[in-house]
Structure 1
Amino acid sequence: MFLNSCQDSVELEQPGIITDDVLFTSATNLNSYLVGSVYASMEPSYEMYLTAVLTDEVKPGRGSGGQEFQLHRLFLDNTDPYTRSIWYQNYRVINRVNRLLEGAANFTPPATDVALYNRVIAQARAIRAYSYLQLETYFSPDMANPSALGVIISTSVAESTDRTPRSTNQQVYDVINADLDYARSILTYSSDRYYVDRGFVNAVSARFNLYRGNTVLARQYAQDVITNCGYGLALATPITTASSGAIGSPTWNAAFYATASSFNPYRNMWTDNARGESIFSLNRLVNGVGVAVGTYYNTNASNYSGVNMWNWGRNLFNLFYKDGDIRRYSYVDPSSVVDNNYMTSPDPRNSDVLVVDKYPGKTSTTTRNDLKIFRLSEMYFILAESAVPADLTLAASYVQSVRAARNYLGTATTPVYTSAQVAYADILKERRIELALEGHRYIDLKRLAIKAGVTMDRNQTDDIVTVSNLANGSHKYTLPIPLAEITANPNAQQNPGY
């Protein structure tokens, strides 16, 4: 009776409804869908946060209520909500790209719209390639093995009845490469960091090829970005101005940490007042879509009183909190309490408060910042890692480029690598510092820790219980396929160990 009485309303065509055959009729509409539905769905902050909590980047803050403690203590299973979010968020983007591509195939644009039509499709396919790379990064047990399990390939609009099994890495890589090759044939380098251009395409290609072990292509695409992007690494200088006073003084702090505009180029990049070295960023307006990434670490504001959910992990903090390193100031709020006796403190969460200030917010909001998806510093590290097997001196020179850009005293020491293991260890350390809280550490430890002869590196004060590190080679360096996916799709094979 209920179904019969509701049937008429179910079958009604509601006034104002926009269906695919109405929406996908012009290049302008395609572009609107790309911006409002595809770009707006991209949300890699889940990967960034899971990486920070699961590795050695953060420790519980004094304002924490226990959120994600189980993840920090390495309890990871197929019901983890952030794992589920990473899986479904990326497939949501892929599905929306597929919808756009199917819609675009249903009409032929006039000659005046062909260029826009092609750019929209190129951007969409590049974003799909990036989403597949994100999925492969977290859910493939071994990206260097083409025959290992990859993720589920979806190149058409998904149906609720789909029961597609996982493909091999190589099959997924073929989709990624086809998308990137198409996008590269259409797009050029641009001055807008918020839209996909050739810089984004080549940065995806560089990271993708590094992860799968093709260092020749990784080096080629990373160098292409550095050579052709039109900007350089964000610098650590100037560190003072005539009116700013001594470093660390109240006057200097007010000028350096100003959200409206700092005098320091590196800090300005993190407050979103300048592009800096950002190849591609997801725009997070004061009011709009997307997670406020700063709230993962500080509920209200990135200072001592901002209800600190997570603070910097002590060993990571020790690496950059030194004279000459601009990250000492740009990453840490001056209201922090730095306890030099933290190892003997009975309560390091209150005595050693290392406030995360890498995401300080924008003017008018203390928690929202653009998400820097690709930066030039990563491209230099890709060049360094790719050079290790053949030329240790060249590898060191690329690392030195980043070190020098981050040093405001002009005394950065050029590394000397005596073996591949020493080089990998130093590159891993430099990536740990420079790319902290940007979603790299988890995959970096998986890829490089054994080659570098190191492990995850938590300090014993990084929790209120006995601290443990995830062992090299652990199956937990690959995320489980979410339970909801396995339940709905029994053909989706689970990863080993879960």
Structure 2
Amino acid sequence: MKNNIYKLVFIAVFAIFYSCENAVDIEQVGRVTEDVAFTNVSELQDGLIGAYGFFDLTREVAMAVNYTDETAEGTDNGGQGRTTGAIFNLNAGSAAASTFWTNGYDRLNAINRLITAADLVTPDGSAEAAQKNDILGQAYALRAYANFQLLSYYTTDYTDDNALGIIKVDFVPSIADKLLRSTNGEIYTLIEEDLTKAASLIQDQSNTIFVSKDFVTALRARIAAYRQDYTTAETLASSLMAKYPLANRTQYRLMFADQGNTEIIFKLQRDLNGIYDNQPGSGTVAATGWIGGVTMFGANTPYFEIGRSLFNLIDPADIRYDVIVDPVSIVSPDYMNAVDYKVEDVLQVGKYPGKPGQVLLNDNKVFRSSEMYLIIVEAKIDRNDLTGAAQDIKALRDIRFGAATPLPSYSNKQEAFAALLNERRVEFAFEGHRWKDIKRLGVRANQGAVRDPKDVEAFGMAASLAPDDYRFTLPLPLVEFNGNPELRTQQNPGY
């Protein structure tokens, strides 16, 4: 049954069911509730399929594209981002504030209904009992992931358990509930409880397109790194590195063309004619669809291009250059003195070339072993093993270059964290990490979002955003205050 996960009919039906339930508060006669929708294990499986349909990285990529230093205006820009990310304009009415909040709770709503309904379903025999357990295990893991994604955008400090987090929703709320934010500690406790349940119930050790035990380990490693619990993070990340080796140059290229899975721990598969096979809305964080469509209308029609400050970090001998930079790009050898910079230096994003039959449609890579590798480097820097961190970064670069590279040297932690942040900036360009990476590592690296002076001059962009700026935490959205006015007292600082 797992092979049916991306069938449009199931996802569409359950997406409509969940969305309508979340939006309509009228108790209508004959309304389909979870106890009616889920009456057997097969229907629980369909509900899980529907829940998977809510998960997507397109908006996360768009957030980093808009609100960091990953991009500048493209040749086909029609105003996209000029009044928002280009000038770091972010407030409680912004699309980013409402998008991540509403989508996050839509995910939780879908999963909580599935988990609640499972209590009413009696399996027919041992095979169905095992299947039900596996469904529940995946659901608990997805709930943990959904909660952490929400927390990563709305808490001010990942490392402070007493800081305000998000609204804790591990049940199906009624329209009358007016809930306030829980602390990070309370949310982390729920996440860990869910991951413990998931690890005990999930059947698969590894599966690149379904939640598996390795997904649980990867999520735990990421959370531990964000919390700066590096002993745990390094142990978990190391266990995955033993199973998922880094891709060589050929494998790296194939991975981003969706022709290979080397170093992929988990991805969200995207298929032709699936629910994500459509053009997202012109670079906004509010829309989803082709992940490559975050920066492009179609082939060779960019409304965002690679920011020069990012491009300058990527060596042409590095396989990541070949993946990130589209070969149709025009690279000015002396861009600072270009007569017409906008047309003499056109750096088109090539990371998402698309699948046969549809450009820009690619799988969303959620967990890769390169992330686990760089978590280990982060842990070494934290404990002041700067030599070990330098050796590891060299080893990664050796693989990406296909040849020996110089051994870097760091005189202090700040310098090493800056090097790590730059390495992550290249490794995970246009994968949705940059905004969060600056938020959690920027102060330690003394590095914020910094755009190239030429992009600032040519496109009227804000030059930089300091790593401790309040805009590296999203505001609670106005749309939530309309139904829950007491939550205004818990708005994040700066808004």
**TM category, shorter:** 0.7 to 0.9
CA RMSD of aligned residues (A): 1.7
Query: SS at the partner of 2:305?
Result: strand
- Pick the aligned partner of 2:66 from 53, 77, 83: 53
Q: 2:9 maps to which residue?
A: none
1:126–1:180: 8 Å Cα contact kept in structure 2?
Answer: yes
Q: 1:68 maps to which residue?
A: 81
1:432 aligns with 2:420: no
Q: 1:445 maps to which residue?
A: 438
1:151–1:168: 8 Å Cα contact kept in structure 2?
Answer: yes
Instruction: Tell me the CA shift for residue 45 of structure 1.
Output: 1.6
1:135–1:151: 8 Å Cα contact kept in structure 2?
Answer: yes
CA distance in 2, matches of 1:387, 1:11: 58
Q: 1:188 to 1:21 in 2, by over 3 A?
A: closer
- Pick the aligned partner of 1:201 from 216, 230, 233: 216
2:309–2:450: 8 Å Cα contact kept in structure 1?
Answer: yes
AA in 2 matched with 1:207: R
Q: 2:494 maps to which residue?
A: 497
Q: 1:455 maps to which residue?
A: 448
CA distance in 2, matches of 1:143, 1:296: 27
CA distance in 2, matches of 1:122, 1:450: 37
Q: 1:223 maps to which residue?
A: 238
1:321 aligns with 2:319: no
Percent identity between matched residues is 36
1:173 aligns with 2:188: yes
1:48–1:439: 8 Å Cα contact kept in structure 2?
Answer: yes
CA distance in 1, matches of 2:233, 2:389: 14
Q: 1:21 to 1:189 in 2, by over 3 A?
A: closer
Residues 123-152 of structure 1: per-residue CA shift (max 9 Å, x gap): 111111111111111110111111001000
1:341 aligns with 2:354: no
CA distance in 1, matches of 2:29, 2:182: 40
- Pick the aligned partner of 1:87 from 90, 93, 101: 101
Q: 1:300 maps to which residue?
A: 298
1:380–1:399: 8 Å Cα contact kept in structure 2?
Answer: no
Residues 74-122 of structure 1: per-residue CA shift (max 9 Å, x gap): 1111111133111111111111110000000112323221211111111
Q: 1:465 maps to which residue?
A: 460
Deviates more, 1:189-198 or 1:469-478: 189-198
Residues 342-391 of structure 1: per-residue CA shift (max 9 Å, x gap): 21234422211001000111110002111101111000111110122332
1:487 aligns with 2:487: no
2:253–2:323: 8 Å Cα contact kept in structure 1?
Answer: yes
Task: Name the TM-score, length of structure 1 as normaliser.
Answer: 0.87
CA distance in 1, matches of 2:112, 2:350: 38
Q: 1:256 maps to which residue?
A: none
Aligned length: 450
5+ residue gaps, structure 1: 1-9, 237-263
Task: Name the TM-score, length of structure 2 as normaliser.
Answer: 0.87
1:267–1:330: 8 Å Cα contact kept in structure 2?
Answer: yes
5+ residue gaps, structure 2: 1-26, 277-288
CA distance in 2, matches of 1:473, 1:105: 45
1:25 aligns with 2:39: yes
Instruction: Tell me the CA shift for residue 192 of structure 1.
Output: 3.0
Instruction: Tell me the CA shift for residue 265 of structure 1.
Output: 1.6
Q: 1:402 to 1:26 in 2, by over 3 A?
A: farther
Residues 145-199 of structure 1: per-residue CA shift (max 9 Å, x gap): 1100100000111322221000111011111110111112233554531100011
Query: SS at the partner of 1:280?
Result: strand
